Amino acid sequence: MKVSYNWLKDFVDLKGLTPEQIADKLTVSGFEVEEIVYINEHLHDVYVGKIEKIEKHPQADRLVVCSVDVGFKEVQIVTSATNVFEGANVPVSLEGADLCNGVQIKPSNFRGVKSDGMFCSGEELGIDENYFEGASINGILILPKDFVPGTKIEDALLLNDVVFDINVTPNRPDCNSVVGIAREICAMFGKKFKDFDISYKTVGDDVNKYVKVDVETENCPRYSASYIKNIKLTRSPLWLRSRLFSVGIKPINTMVDITNYVLVEQGQPMHAFDYKYLDGHQIVVRQAKKGEKIAVLNGQTYELDKDVMVIADANKPVVIAGVIGGVNSCISDSTTETVFECAVFDLKSVRLTAKKFGLSTDSSARYSKGVNINLPSVALKRALHLVDKLKCGDIVGGIVDFCKTELNQKQVLKISYSKVCKILGFEVSKEEMTKILNGLAIETDIVGDEMTCVVPAIREDIKTVNDIAEEVIRIYGYDFYNNIDGIVFENCSTTMGGFEPRLQFENGLKNILVDEGFYETLNYSLYSASACDKLLLAEDDVRRNVIKVANPISEDLSTVRTVMAHAMLLDVAYNLSVGNKDLRFFEQGKIYLPKKLPLTELPVENDRLSFAVCESGFDFFNLKGVVENLLVGTSLKYKLQRSKEPYLHSGVSADIVAEDGTVVGWFGKIHKTVLKNYDIGQDVYYGELDTDYLSSLPEKEHSTKEVSKFPPVERDIAIVVDEKITNEELMSAIKSASGKIFYDVNLFDVYRSDALGEGKKSMAYKIVFMSEEKTLTGDEINQAVNKILKSLQFRFGAKLREN
Amino acid sequence: MKQKLEEILKNGLCEIEKVSDLKSLDEVRVTYLGKAGVLTQILRGMRDVPAEERREIGSLANSVREQIEKKLSEKWANLENEKLLADMEKEKVDITEPSKGVKRGALHPLTRFNNKFMEMCVEMGFTVIQTPEIETDYNNFEALNVPKNHPARDMQDSLYITENILLRTHTSPAQVRAMHMFKPPFKIVCPGRVYRNDDDSSHSPIFNQFEALVIDENVSLKDFMTMVKEMAVRLYGKDVKMRVRPAYFPFTEPSIEIDATCQMCGGKGCSLCKGTGFSEFFGGGIVNPRILEMAGIDSNKYSGFAFGPGIDRSVMVTNKIPNIKYLFRNDLRFLKQMR
């Protein structure tokens, strides 16, 4: 919201207050000033000058030398402009000037003739024809005869304003106006609000004879209109143009300017119709009919439907309500009679229509914030006052006022004074509090602890004691809290802090992965629906039951994820594509599994840890090591089974299956076809764990027993077996054959060769024996080894490998 | 005899002194103390010494042997030490060669920031929880006093799944859930992802916030401010300055926005803080009593404060991250800088 400093002066005495002081106070009181714009920023050292004499330049045909009276001195200006003449008043920029087109003025020499400065065009002053007559011509701006030489140009052209760009919070729609901000400034500085004039003279007669208004839609709670005839359309006076110009609105003609003036000053959007183009002299506020079209002021033609509210005449839509007017009924040079509209439209309806057509107008922006139901009548009178003041038409008596709901009334709040202090945490004296609230036009009376506040009708935001507390503290000043020294939670009960167990558990896993050389990634939980296809999920895979965003930003962000691997593979592919190597990534994230589609209740949000490695020399067993390190600290008892994950290599992957049969994760090499789908040219190893499940397990218990006093003895054996025999089978056979003296067994070599034969492998184990009772003898060890070999031979046909 | 012994001592010590390697030293030992050694021979000849001198000579001979032995062992230790030093010199490695083994990775900067913040909250008595990202329209808006006609409730600004279910637009539904999960007094903080229908160069459709809520008897704005101050000091050091501005949130009243010394420029003023030296720290305020009532908490007895910032920007500032899009791009070259 842009607010002009000069405009504010109409309603509040700003003497002694600089724009900066006002801006600071506005900011700390809840109206953040995002920017202060000085309209005269590029107008210093520019004056009104009168050309006394023009002589030809002795050396150059195209230049002339002018003697100019700039009030406080005579200067000489050399110019090539051809529209200057003796006696003309012109803007003269002198040494030090810094014009808005970047030109900086220094005295210079034009072929031997000194020039003290430069005459300016309208463009060089940042204005155009709309603002000032002659400002758009190709040449110097010729100023009116009555301008006094030596006057600063900013004062002569009323370009001496300062504008605050204020961020008005959504709870204060009343402050999207000059008067709203002026009222606030009054409260902040303890000043009195100067009321505005809404009086006007009519030519009698009755508006109802000329205009009929019908409101047929729910979306228009109030519609006020008036009728003006014998319109004399002219340029508005400079003071009015200046104010519109300051806040970025183009001055056009009196009628249009008045509607804009009221919009900015009162916060009430208005519209002016050309009466002769209103068929049936009728105004109908209704929803558009499907197929209706309207050509509007921005040059576009829109096709309408029932979601769009329009103002229509007897036959056709003439305005998209609250958004933009149609060309067919707008004010033009031929307008002689007009109808003014001041209405309240449903903010949501206006907002959605504006968005639908991609339109943002001053009117739609204002309506989207909410217009008070009381405002139209006041604003309409203010507009009529201006019509009267500018003498630009004859106002017909009476106004049409359709109002569906009751107007807002002052409301009385009865609250507790001590409760206000309790919310603030310190005591504001009754006198101080009363003064602050009265300053905000909240008439307040405090008797004992009982506080009565009469809240003005425009303050729809004030409903409770907390709202009153906020009004008090924002004017009292939040600065108070900057200087307090309090004990933290002085008045609060002691509570025990802690992490939700899952979060703590996940942090532990993350740290393990970091130690294993992994980097944490974060991915969007939305992706393209094609993820399931790329990962080769079967048609009946439950993860194909995806939750779809109803209004996605794009196809790539249309689906809530049900698998982690997609994002991880995209990360790997991206990194490879930019030349990064040796990738170890993990992500802790959620997948979202609907119980039923379409969603009727919230889905299950399942926390998963996914990890991937793309690194030369890394294989399945390295990955298995990572998985074991992740799981060793948990109490999970699990076994590995061949994985059925469709995106993993069927031979080089495993599911982690808990004792209760739950698959708590899987890991393995990524399927070749999947790699191709992601344009990845190297092997990728991937794993995933269900951290919801894992974190729900009881904590791992560590019960220990005494360590043996006697030394362990190691023996190595290498046996040849069929490929199909697994390490696990052999190890458990070794363990059971060793009996009581078994301590440990490890596979330390697997060997295949032609000599061993097709389908055979050599497995070398280091077996450790130990007794808790005595030192083992060579014979005892030999016996045990023999027993093991026999057992392996009997069960698996294993033969001792001969070197 | 006596003279001979003294000569042996003198020569022995001298020879030991001259030796420069262990092997030669051993030879010297054999020469003097070996079975056929000079001193051994002398001692064997003791029986020829007259009885009255034997005592004196014997003791002298022992002393000579002891002195030579001592010298020998000292020299031995010295030479051995020299050899060790020489060997180590030969085994010298280039200490600038790279280390071996798995190199540690790193947590994501968002996680690091979150961890730091959450640990601080835990120390201050907060329980860290997480609540669903896919939320009901009721929890996300209605129960937080966001009016029906608020722009956030249009499809254009939020990502909806059905009419009543959407991807939460802020972490504030955690307030509503906490009020049903815990009995006052309690303190909770909920970090998590939030979603908006917004994707351009400076906005991500997904970003991170956290929500904190304290419900107790006698909680005031002053308590809120002292806590925020403590948090700012712990995060940014004791020289941090604060600035409070009124603000508007539907679920708090009064609502405030708290700025702290800009961590990008240290308060000098930079492009990030638009020259003010301050950047947004927290937004929050006193819980709107309507919200307590809607959750079934007696607003006459209990009050509270709620606050919660977006953290992506803080993470960017703390780590001087040039572009918000880096946070989700997962480029190894970026992530490696977090080690």
- DSSP per residue, A450-509: EEEEEE-TT-TT--SHHHHHHHHHHHH-THHHHT----TTTTS-----EE-HHHHHHHHH
pLDDT given at position B148: 75
* H or E element at residue A703: none
CB-neighbour burial class of residue B281 (10 A; exposed 0-12, middle 13-18, buried 19+): buried
Q: Do B126 and A497 touch (CB under 8 A)?
A: yes
**A226 and A350, same structural domain?**
yes
Q: What is the pLDDT of residue B146?
A: 86
CB contact under 8 A, A170 and B227: no
Residue pointed to by tokens 């140009």: A153
Nearest CA among A761, A766, A727, A764 for reference residue A746: A766
Q: Among B62, B90, B118, which residue terminates a domain?
A: B90
Q: Is the pLDDT of residue A665 over 90?
A: yes
- The pLDDT of residue B155 is 63
CB contact under 8 A, B126 and A474: no
The answer to whether residue B276 sits within a structural domain is: yes
Same domain, yes or no: A570 and A674:
yes
By the CB < 8 Å criterion, does A574 face chain B? yes
Partners of residue A522 in chain B, C-beta under 8 Å: 108, 110-111, 327-328, 330
A28 lies in the same domain as A78: no
In contact, A670 and A652? CB cutoff 8 Å: no
How many separate domains does chain A show? 6
Smallest Cα distance from A249 to chain B, Å: 26
Please, which pLDDT band fits residue A537 given cuts at 50, 70 and 90?
very high
What pLDDT score was predicted for residue A260?
96
Q: What pLDDT is attached to residue B50?
A: 82
Contact A484 B226 (CB under 8 A): yes
Asked if the model's pLDDT at residue B153 lies above 80, the reply is no
In a domain, B128, yes or no: yes
Looking at the domain assignment, is residue A199 inside a domain? no
Same domain, B284 and B314: yes
CATH number, domain of A734, equals 3.30.70.380
Domain membership of residue A488 (yes or no) is no
Q: Are residues B132 and B26 in the same domain?
A: no
- A contact residues 438-467, partner B, Cβ 8 Å cutoff: 464-467
Q: Which of B134, B160, B303 is facing A603, going by the closest CB pair?
A: B134
Interatomic CA distance for residues A646 and A544, integer angstroms: 13
Among A369, A403, A437, the domain boundary falls at A403
Q: What is the mean pLDDT of residues B299-313?
A: 90
Please check whether residues A177 and A265 belong to one and the same domain.
Answer: no
Q: Provide the pLDDT for residue A81.
A: 92
pLDDT single digits (tens) A277-301: 999 999 999 999 999 999 999 999 9
Q: Are strands B127-128 and B186-195 parallel, antiparallel or unpaired?
A: parallel
CA-to-CA distance for A694 and A266, rounded, in angstroms? 62
Q: What is the pLDDT of residue B151?
A: 66
Residue A560 near residue A549 (C-beta atoms within 8 A): yes
The pLDDT value recorded for residue A482 is 82
Q: Is A709 on the interface with B (CB under 8 A)?
A: no
Rounded Cα gap, residues B15 and B24, in angstroms: 10
**In the prediction, which pLDDT does A803 show?**
62
User: Is the predicted pLDDT of residue B149 greater than 80, yes or no?
Assistant: no
Q: Are residues A165 and A147 in the same domain?
A: no
Best of A493, A528, A545, A580 to disrupt the B interface by mutation (most B CBs within 10 Å)? A493
Per the domain annotation, does B103 fall within a domain?
no
- Same domain (yes/no): B77, B132: no
As a residue count, chain B comes to 339
Structure tokens at B39: 């001193």
**Residues contacting B82, CB < 8 A, separation 6+:** none
pLDDT, tens digit, 9 for 90 and up, residues A369-428: 889 999 999 999 999 999 999 999 999 999 999 998 888 889 999 999 999 999 999 999
Question: Across the interface, which of A481, A551, A605 has its CB nearest the CB of B134?
Answer: A605
- Percent of chain A exceeding pLDDT 70 equals 100
Instruction: Flag whether A707 is in a domain.
Output: no
Q: Are residues B223 and B330 in the same domain?
A: yes
Q: What is the CATH number of the domain that holds A61?
A: 2.40.50.140
What is the three-class DSSP state of A579?
A: coil
pLDDT at site A676: 97
Q: A483 and chain B: CB distance < 8 Å anywhere? A: no
Do residues B6 and B62 both lie within one domain?
yes
Asked if A321 and A268 sit in the same domain, the reply is yes
Please compute the mean of the pLDDT values over residues B194-217 and round it to a whole number. Answer: 89
Q: Determine, yes or no, domain membership for B221.
A: yes
End residue of a domain, out of B38, B57, B90: B90
Would you say residue A169 lies in a domain? yes
For residues B145-166, average pLDDT? 81
Q: Which residues contact A115 (CB under 8 A, 6 or more apart)?
A: A65, A76, A77, A78, A79, A107, A108, A109
The model's confidence at residue B56, banded by pLDDT at 50, 70 and 90, is confident
Shared-domain flag, residues A379 and A250: yes
Q: Tell me: the pLDDT tens digits for A511-528?
A: 999 999 999 999 999 999
Domain membership flag for residue A197? no
Does one domain contain both B84 and B119?
A: no
B272 touches chain A (CB under 8 A): no
**Letter string b/e over residues A494-525, b meaning 16 or more CB atoms within 10 A of that residue's CB:** ebebebeebbebbbebbebbbebbbbbbbbbb
Give me the residue from A351, A517, A592 closest to B134, CB to CB: A592
Instruction: Give residues with Cβ within 8 angstroms of A58, minimum separation 6.
Output: A112, A113
- Using the 3D structure, point to which of B61, B90, B119 is the last residue of a domain: B90
Q: Which domain holds residue B65?
A: 2-90
Mark out the alpha helices in A45-125 (DSSP H runs). Answer: none
B30 inside domain: yes
Q: How far apart are CA A18 and CA A620, in angstroms?
A: 73
Same domain, A20 and A135: no
Whether residue B190 is found in the same domain as residue B322: yes
Q: Is the pLDDT of residue B200 over 70?
A: yes
The 3-state DSSP class for residue A188 equals helix
d(Cα B29, Cα B31) in Å, to the nearest integer? 5
Which class for B154: exposed (0-12), middle (13-18), buried (19 or more C-beta within 10 A)? middle
Residues B292-316, buried b or exposed e (16+ Cβ, 10 A)?
A: bebbebebeebbbbbbbbbbbbbbb
Do B156 and B206 share a domain, yes or no?
yes
Residue pair A270/A319 in contact (Cβ under 8 Å)? The answer is no
Domain count, chain B: 2
Residue B185, preceding peptide bond in cis (omega within 30° of 0): yes
pLDDT of A775 reads: 93
pLDDT computed for residue A76 by the predictor: 95
Best of B159, B181, B193, B274 to mutate (most A CBs within 10 Å, chain A): B159
Cα angle A394-A399-A402, degrees, rounded to a multiple of 5: 150
Nearest C-alpha neighbor of B171 from the set B226, B133, B121: B133
Handedness of CA B249, B253, B257, B260 (dihedral sign): negative
Same domain, B218 and B251: yes
pLDDT at B154: 66
Is the same domain home to A184 and A231? no
Torsion angle, alpha carbons of A335, A336, A337, A339, to 10: 30
A256: helix, strand or coil = helix
Looking at the fold, whether A221 and A285 belong to one and the same domain comes out as yes
pLDDT for the residue B152: 63
Encoded amino acid at A295, one letter? A
Sequence-distant (6+) residues with CB within 8 A of A242 are A6, A157, A158, A159, A161
**Residues A226, A134 within the same domain:** no
- The CATH number covering residue B144 comes to 3.30.930.10
**pLDDT, tens digit, 9 for 90 and up, residues A582-637:** 999 999 999 999 999 899 999 999 999 999 999 999 999 999 999 999 999 999 99
Which of A355, A376, A403 represents a domain boundary (last residue)?
A: A403
Asked if A283 and A264 touch (Cβ cutoff 8 Å), the reply is: no
Question: What residue ranges in chain B does DSSP mark as E strands?
Answer: 127-128, 134-136, 165-167, 186-195, 206-216, 242-249, 252-261, 278-287, 303-307
A265 and A397 assigned to the same domain: yes
In a domain, B202, yes or no: yes
The pLDDT assigned to A377 comes to 93
CATH code where residue A11 lies: 3.30.56.10
* Per-residue pLDDT at A45: 95
Domain identity same for B34 and B144: no
Percent residues over pLDDT 90 in chain B: 53
B96 contact partners, CB below 8 Å, separation of at least 6: none
Decide if A498 and B288 are in contact by the 8 Å CB cutoff.
no
Asked if pLDDT for residue A335 goes beyond 80, the answer is yes
What are phi and psi for residue A240, nearest 5 degrees? -75, -45
Query: Is the pLDDT assigned to residue B324 strictly greater than 90?
Result: no
Least confidently predicted of A528-542, A766-780, B16-30, B194-208: B194-208
Secondary structure (DSSP) of B225-294: HHHHHHHHHHHH-TT--EEEEEEEETTEEEEEEEEEE-TTTTTS--TTTTTSSEEEEEEEEEEPHHHHHH
Of A667-671, A707-711, B148-152, the range with the lowest mean pLDDT is: B148-152
From B95's Cα to the closest Cα of chain A, the distance in A is 23
Q: Which of A425, A494, A521 sits opposite B108 (nearest CB)?
A: A521
* Tokens describing residue A788: 């093991």
Residues B123, B272, single domain; the answer is yes
Q: Please give the Cα distance from A719 to A762 (Å, whole number).
A: 5
Cα distance between residue A8 and residue A23, in whole Å? 13
Q: Which domain holds residue A427?
A: 411-482
Whether the CA torsion A93, A97, A102, A104 is positive or negative: it is positive
Same domain, B166 and B301: yes
Q: Where are the beta strands (DSSP E) in A233-361?
A: 270-274, 282-287, 293-295, 301-303, 309-312, 317-320, 324-325, 338-344
Q: What average pLDDT does range A194-210 have in this prediction?
A: 95
- What rounded mean pLDDT belongs to chain A? 94
Residue B235 falls inside a structural domain = yes
Q: In this structure, are strands A583-593 and A519-520 parallel, antiparallel, or unpaired?
A: parallel
pLDDT band at B8 (very low <50, low <70, confident <90, very high): confident
- Cα separation, A727 vs B101, in Å, equals 27
Query: How many angstroms away from the CA of A590 is the closest CA of chain B?
Result: 9
Does residue B98 fall inside a structural domain? no
